Amino acid sequence: MTLALGSGALGWVSVAALAALGLLGAVAVAWPLLASGDADELAGREEAPEHVRAREDLSRSLTALREIAFDHACGNLSDEDFSRLDTTERATAVRLMRQIDAFDAKTGEAA
């Protein structure tokens, strides 16, 4: 550590080493561009926004159902409240599942 890397030949050796590293970095960065094949499309979701929204709503609905059941088991919800909330949420979940099935069927036909 007591070597004065900034002065004399050793300093320039270290800078040359860094230049070599820089060159290596440039090659590594450029390599995927040089080696890219035919399948170069960036992966992404092809779903329509309303399809994505329905899936998210279903996920929320299922989470809510789990939470309602657990809160009822803990005694945080009365039987009456549980029955009301559970029925509403189940109906929402079923509606969303049907909607997603319809989307999936449409996507399948298009494919």
CB of 72 to other proteins, least distance (A): 9
- The phi and psi torsions of 30 (rounded to 5 degrees) equal -75, -20
Q: Closer to other proteins by CB, 36 or 109: give it.
A: 36
CB of 93 to other proteins, least distance (A): 14
Q: Which residue has the tokens 């002065």?
A: 7
User: And the tokens for 1?
Assistant: 């550590």
Q: Closer to other proteins by CB, 41 or 109: give it.
A: 41
CA angle 35-36-37, nearest 5°? Answer: 115
Distance CA 1, CA 15 (A): 17
Q: Closer to other proteins by CB, 39 or 111: give it.
A: 39
Assess contact for 13 and 20: CB atoms under 8 A. Answer: no
User: And the tokens for 37?
Assistant: 């094949």
Q: Closer to other proteins by CB, 81 or 104: give it.
A: 81
- Contacting residues toward other proteins, per CB under 8 A: 1-2, 4-6, 11, 14-15, 18-19, 21-22, 25, 28-33, 35-36, 39-45, 49, 52-53, 56-57, 60, 63-64, 67, 70-71, 73-78, 80-81, 85
